Structure 1
Amino acid sequence: MAELVYRPVIGVAKTLFKALDLKIDCQGSENIPRSGGAVLVSNHIGYLDFVFDGLAALPQKRLVRFMAKESVFRHKVSGPLMRSMKHIPVDRSQGEHAFQHALASLRSGEVVGVFPEATISQSFTLKSFKTGAVRLAQEAGVPLIPMALWGTQRIWTKGRPRNFKRQHIPVTIRVGEAIEAPKDQYAGAITRRLRDRVQELLEAAQRAYPVRPKGADDTWWMPAHLGGTAPTPEQVKAAEAG
């Protein structure tokens, strides 16, 4: 079936990136298979992460179907677009439906994008991973493709205003080699291995990032353990609990 919406949306995104003069450094796209199902697994630090994850798959001529919270599909603007691009709504009260939807997409040869942290990390460090991505890969018999993003939080993230007026922001993307998910292995163990690999890719992306905070007022996007003023994971957890 022709992609009547997805490809034009890609064109709009590329035009926006060009207008903002984003400096995108993407390495490892060749690790995304050119055909067949796969689960693309990424860290989550900004609202536009799915766009950059999808961008990494374009050199392999793949369109990623992302799992996203159901409320996005109810929005009058984003809803029709998300449905037309065949993304997958996730209602946390009925998670099995989303799982089966994603499984059917994988079995039909699609690439499904998953954020196993389930929500944006406000500390910009990796949260714990849920096992759903691994269980999908096991059931569908497809590989897991780990990847990491850095810099997207500077454009638009939780608790911060959109930054579409600031130009020249670098975005670093690293895609790792496939991880197999045999059915006879414990999903939790594979999930831990997957998270470790995403952590390695994230650290590689951070090392390659071409800029550092410019003065005391520009440290919010750096994790505390790297000398920034983003809240620590413990602080985020305490704020959410309070």
Structure 2
Amino acid sequence: MADRPNFVGRMWYDTVFWSSFTFFTFGFSIRRSGWKNMPLRGPVLVLANHQSMFDPVMVGLSSRRYLSYLARKNLFEQRGLAPIIRSLNAIPIDRSMGKDGIQAVLDALGQGQAVLVFPEGERTQDGSVEPLKAGVSLLIKRVNCPIVPVGIAGAFAAWSRHMKVPKLSPLMLPPEASTIAISVGEPIDPARYQNMKRDAMLDDLHRALVAQHADAERLRRK
């Protein structure tokens, strides 16, 4: 892996970025803040709350660099999809991100990539930021790069796990529940967590995500 996708991956990523930007701008009135908080170079662990299937794209649209995403191992076995996700430096993991998944993330960070992880482990049931999975602490204890918290708001109302089809919030109309906003927080120094117990670490990271989610909520209501 490299710190950015190969040529084919960059072309594909850029195509998806701009087509998604157009779609979400006009369809969901997407709003973003904190763009400059994402480091331009070097490894970065990006943590975001998880509201919707839209979330990986939302975080990608709020980042000024290429992101690497986690993908279930079985997706790499699909003939049509495997070449595409490989070209984007996708990282294969088990559904629960066990020891092998953690090592894969660390390897990607070691090569200078910005890796997106959803520490809640699954999409929220009610739109709130749910408690973080305990296994995330094993990853945090081993990273030595900036940790960037990202808050997503509105995506739950736009397309939650309980909905079959998305609900639009068209541009130029007043903000609705399905208007989407993303807030990128300031990087956290991982040294903060080196001597912190697991529960305290998870609580601190949870508060950071809750704070960014609150910022995104305020932004999308403007």
> Would the TM-score normalized by the shorter structure come out above 0.5?
yes
Distance 1:78 1:127, change over 3 A: farther
Structure 2: runs of 5+ lacking an equivalent: 172-177
Kindly report which structure 2 residues correspond to 1:79-228, keeping only aligned pairs within 5 A, or say none.
79-92=82-95, 95-163=98-166, 167-168=170-171, 170-182=179-191, 183-210=194-221
Question: How much identity, in percent, do the aligned residues show?
Answer: 25
Q: After TM superposition, where is structure 1 displaced by more than 6 Å over at least 4 residues in a row? A: none
Secondary structure at the residue paired with 2:8? coil
Per-residue CA distance 1:188-208 (angstroms, 9 max, x = gap):
322211110110111121122
* Equivalent-residue separation in structure 2 for 1:77 and 1:164 (angstroms): 29
CA distance in 2, matches of 1:190, 1:94: 19
Q: Choose which of 10, 13, 23 in structure 2 pairs with 1:9.
A: 13
CA contact (8 A) 1:134 1:144 kept: no
Alpha-carbon distance change, 79 to 151 in structure 1, aligned in 2, over 3 angstroms: farther
Larger deviation, residues 161-170 vs 39-48: 161-170
Partners of 2:216 and 2:107 in 1: how far apart? 32
1:118 alignment partner AA: G
CA-CA distance at 1:24 after TM superposition: 1.9
Q: Indicate conservation of the 8 Å contact 2:20/2:57, yes or no.
A: no
Pair 210,92 (structure 1): closer, same or farther in 2 beyond 3 Å = closer
Measure the CA separation in 1 of the matches of 2:71 and 2:103.
14
Aligned CA RMSD, in angstroms, stands at 2.5
Q: Higher mean Cα deviation, 3-12 or 173-182?
A: 3-12
Q: Which residue number corresponds to residue 46 of structure 1?
A: 52
1:68-126 CA-to-partner distances (Å, cap 9, x unmatched) read 33344445554432222111122147711111111011011111100000000021111
Matched with 1:26 is 32
SS at match of 1:188: helix
Q: Larger RCO: Structure 1 or Structure 2 (Cα < 8 Å, ≥ 6 residues apart)?
A: 2
Structure 1: which amino acid aligns with 2:211? E
- Give yes or no for contact 1:134–1:181 (8 Å, CA) kept in 2: no
For each residue in 1:167-207, what CA deviation from the matched residue of structure 2 results, as whole angstroms up to 9, or x when unmatched?
A: 43632010111112223333432221111011011112112
**Number of residue-to-residue matches in the alignment:** 208
Question: Highest CA radius of gyration, 1 or 2?
Answer: 1
* Partner Cα separation in structure 2 for residue 210 and residue 77 of structure 1: 40
SS at structure 2 position matched to 1:47: coil
The 3 A distance-change label for structure 1 pair 93 and 149 is: closer
**Letter paired with 1:27:** S
